[in-house]
Amino acid sequence: MSENTKEKLLAIARTRVQAHGYDGLNFRDLAAKLGIRAPSLYHHFPSKAALGAAVAWRYCEDVQAALDAVSQAHSSPRACLLAYPGIFRKALEGDTRICLASFLSAQSDDVPEEIREAIQAFIDINVTWLAGHLSTLVSKDIAMRRADAIYAAVAGAQLTARGSGGLGRYDDLIATFRESGLLGA
């Protein structure tokens, strides 16, 4: 499998996990989508667990890049915090898919350890980024606790929106969080 095919596989697998969870990683279906034979996938990923972990770790890298872009695009910590929900909104814009880590978190009893490690890393990346921006506004202890709350609220809003109401519901929930002061007014 070429590097280009591997990248396409990771992209397709990501979309499948965001829509169907870990069960969406079916080598036969993924190979058919790529127009190759399923055994070819085993060249780079010896198991479903290895593919799932690669997708989850790539997702961590992608969210770190997105958070870095938000930090670069906004001059103030407050503006960064207000922009944060937009990262989760993007997943909903694509056929009401949700954050890959949120979906896999819900399946944590059924996914391999290497995927659970990536899920925890994803959460840590988000909470650390949020706390970094919050720490310019409040004490470090409060920043960490509030960062946890913001991450949970935004991820929860995305789950709620996927289950009922889509983007409109997500936007309403985020507006409510802002009105209540969780994300800043």
Q: What CATH number corresponds to the domain at position 116? A: 1.10.357.10
Q: Given the structure tokens 């290497």, which residue do they identify?
A: 114
Residue 159 lies in a domain: yes
Residue 10 lies in a domain: no
Range of the domain at 75: 53-180
Separation of alpha carbons 90 and 69, rounded Å: 14
Q: Is the pLDDT of residue 172 over 50?
A: yes
Confidence of residue 95 (pLDDT cuts 50, 70, 90): low
Residue 111 lies in a domain: yes
Q: What is the largest CA-CA distance in the chain?
A: 55
pLDDT of residue 19: 87
Q: Is the pLDDT of residue 184 over 80?
A: no
Residue 61 lies in a domain: yes
Residue 14 lies in a domain: no
Q: Per the structure, how many domains does the chain have? A: 1
The b/e string for 5-16 (b: 16+ C-beta within 10 A; e otherwise) is bbebbbebbbbb
